[in-house]
């Protein structure tokens, strides 16, 4: 059974108070709290086997290397990738997206070539392409959506042309919670001979991921959104694509041989991992993945779906409530406004009640423009949240609304 009381004991921070009130942490789409096992694993490595990885002949370096590469294997299993050579460690989703944007455009794009994104993308899947548009005059095309927050697949198919080189879309919207039909998105793109990158920042923490079944060419996610440390993430790339892409950065670790006349590079994944990696964080990430899988990804998803459904029903009963994103397939996020109350005011006053939510445009200003608003209040759920916390949120919103 899903034992929420025991699960919460793994996260001591959840028992603290804020302004003299019990903490209700509902900002998980921004970052999740960390279980003791992750903190203990990282502390243990710093205390006992802290040494730079790869090429070291001494015992501690070899032990640290084994932990680092074991973490890569853990990620491979988590994503159901074919080989560890397809798993590149990054600083997070943003670096994964920038890496592909930079290396892919260097190798395969010229002036007038096109990239397809969607209207609900995070800025990290928009701005890198705009920077390339300024440098190389590539064209950004945008998949529209319905008022319910679902991508218009007919509009998507109409965007392809002989100049389309890549599709890059989010699997789950960080604002709307919409679960996009990525397998269909990929099928259509591949029918046009176009590779696809999936932003998995909001999906990897909440559901089972199988990159081979999905058939995506690239997939990226962040550790800190799935109970792991900050500053570490993963880029998955099909081996044939990673072999073809040029390096993203230069330096140690990613070279085979250097002379002043010529440099040759390691094969993937090391080709894309210049410099000393955060090998402590990769061990922490692997521990977080083990923790999630021990609970069961299907059970986590079922718990979060139930919370999302319950929260949506309770919030709809609040006078003046407007919920943004009512897709048929939705997960772990509810974004809303109440009457004419500014989201910053709502978030600030909820904070005084001990309730942590996110306010603003959520790094998705083009989506806010589509919705005709400046921002929202966002409550986002995780494996440790409860219905009682949802009740506290609703009571807090009603209390704030009375003040206005």
Tens digit of each residue's pLDDT (9 = 90 or more) over 342-358:
999 999 999 999 999 99
* 402 SS3 class: helix
What pTM was estimated for this model as a whole?
0.97
Contact by Cβ (8 Å): 133, 162: no
pLDDT at 261: 95
Would you state the structure tokens that stand for residue 303, as one six-digit string?
């718990």
Q: Residue 384 CA to chain centroid, in angstroms?
A: 18
Which residue's structure tokens are 């806010």?
A: 368
Catalytic, out of 39, 70, 139, 363: 363
DSSP state at residue 114: E
Sign of the C-alpha dihedral computed for residues 168, 171, 172 and 178 taken in this order: positive
Q: Is 254 a residue whose pLDDT tops 80?
A: yes
Containing 292, the helix (H) or strand (E) segment is helix 279-295
Q: How confident is the model at residue 312 (pLDDT cuts 50, 70, 90)?
A: very high
| Residue 155, phi then psi, degrees to nearest 5 | -65, -35
Q: What angle do CA 257, 261, 264 make, to 5 degrees?
A: 30
**Average pLDDT value for residue range 307-329:** 97
pLDDT at 391: 98
**Average pLDDT value for residue range 236-244:** 98
pLDDT at 58: 97
Query: Among this protein's residues, is 363 annotated catalytic?
Result: yes
Sign of the C-alpha dihedral computed for residues 302, 213, 191 and 241 taken in this order: positive
pLDDT at 55: 87
**Average pLDDT value for residue range 222-230:** 98
CA distance 203 to 113: 29
Contacts of 163 (CB under 8 A, 6+ apart): 112, 113, 114, 139
Q: What angle do CA 313, 380, 185 make, to 5 degrees?
A: 95
Tens digit of each residue's pLDDT (9 = 90 or more) over 3-45:
999 999 999 999 999 999 999 999 999 999 999 999 999 999 9
pLDDT at 14: 98
**Average pLDDT value for residue range 242-264:** 94
pLDDT at 2: 87
Tens digit of each residue's pLDDT (9 = 90 or more) over 41-72:
999 999 999 999 998 999 999 999 999 999 99
Alpha carbons within 13 A on the beta-carbon side of 2? 17
CA distance 270 to 211: 20
Tens digit of each residue's pLDDT (9 = 90 or more) over 177-211:
999 999 999 999 999 999 999 999 999 999 999 99
Contacts of 285 (CB under 8 A, 6+ apart): 71, 74, 75, 223, 228, 229, 232, 234
Q: Return the CA Rg of the chain.
A: 22
pLDDT at 280: 98
Contacts of 101 (CB under 8 A, 6+ apart): 128, 129, 132, 168
Tens digit of each residue's pLDDT (9 = 90 or more) over 78-120:
999 999 999 999 999 999 999 999 999 999 999 999 999 999 9
Transcribe 175-224 into DSSP letters. Answer: TT-BB--HHHHHHHHHHTT--EEEE-TTTTTTS---HHHHT-SEEEEESG
Q: Report all structural domains of the chain as residue ranges with CATH numbers, in order of start.
A: 4-27+296-403 (3.90.1150.10), 40-293 (3.40.640.10)
């Amino acid at each position: 059974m899903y034992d929420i009381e025991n699960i919460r004991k793994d996260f001591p921070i959840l028992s603290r108070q804020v302004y003299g009130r019990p903490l209700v942490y509902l900002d998980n789409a921004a970052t999740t709290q960390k279980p003791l096992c992750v903190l203990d694993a990282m502390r243990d490595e710093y205390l006992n086997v802290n040494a730079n990885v790869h090429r070291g002949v001494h015992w501690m370096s070899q032990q640290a290397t084994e932990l680092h590469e074991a973490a890569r294997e853990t990620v491979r299993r988590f994503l159901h990738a074919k080989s560890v050579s397809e798993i590149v460690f990054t600083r997070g989703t943003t670096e994964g997206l920038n890496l592909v944007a930079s290396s892919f455009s260097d190798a395969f794009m010229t002036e007038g070539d096109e990239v397809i994104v969607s209207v609900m993308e995070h800025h990290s899947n928009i701005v890198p392409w705009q920077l390339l548009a300024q440098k190389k005059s590539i064209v950004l095309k945008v998949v529209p959506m319905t008022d319910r927050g679902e991508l218009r697949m007919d509009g998507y198919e109409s965007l392809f042309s002989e100049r389309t080189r890549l599709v890059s879309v989010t699997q789950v919207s960080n604002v709307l919670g919409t679960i996009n039909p990525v397998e269909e998105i990929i099928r259509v793109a591949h029918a046009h001979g176009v590779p696809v990158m999936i932003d998995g920042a909001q999906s990897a923490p909440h559901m089972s991921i199988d990159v081979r079944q999905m058939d995506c060419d690239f997939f990226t996610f962040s550790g800190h959104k799935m109970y792991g440390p900050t500053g570490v993430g993963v880029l998955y790339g099909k081996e044939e694509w990673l072999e073809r892409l040029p390096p993203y950065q230069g330096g140690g670790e990613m070279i085979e041989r250097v002379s002043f006349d010529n440099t040759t590079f390691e094969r993937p994944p090391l080709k894309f991992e210049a410099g000393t990696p955060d090998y402590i964080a990769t061990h922490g990430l692997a521990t977080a993945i083990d923790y999630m899988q021990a609970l069961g990804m299907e059970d986590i998803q079922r718990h979060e779906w139930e919370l999302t459904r319950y929260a949506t029903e309770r919030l709809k009963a609040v006078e003046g409530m407007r919920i943004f994103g009512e897709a048929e397939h939705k997960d772990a996020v509810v974004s809303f406004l109440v009457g004419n109350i500014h989201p910053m005011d709502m978030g600030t006053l909820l904070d005084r009640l001990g309730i942590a939510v996110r306010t603003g445009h959520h790094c998705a200003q083009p989506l806010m423009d589509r919705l005709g608003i400046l921002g929202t209040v966002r409550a986002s759920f995780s494996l440790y949240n409860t219905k009682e916390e949802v009740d506290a949120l609703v009571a807090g919103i009603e209390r704030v609304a009375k003040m206005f």
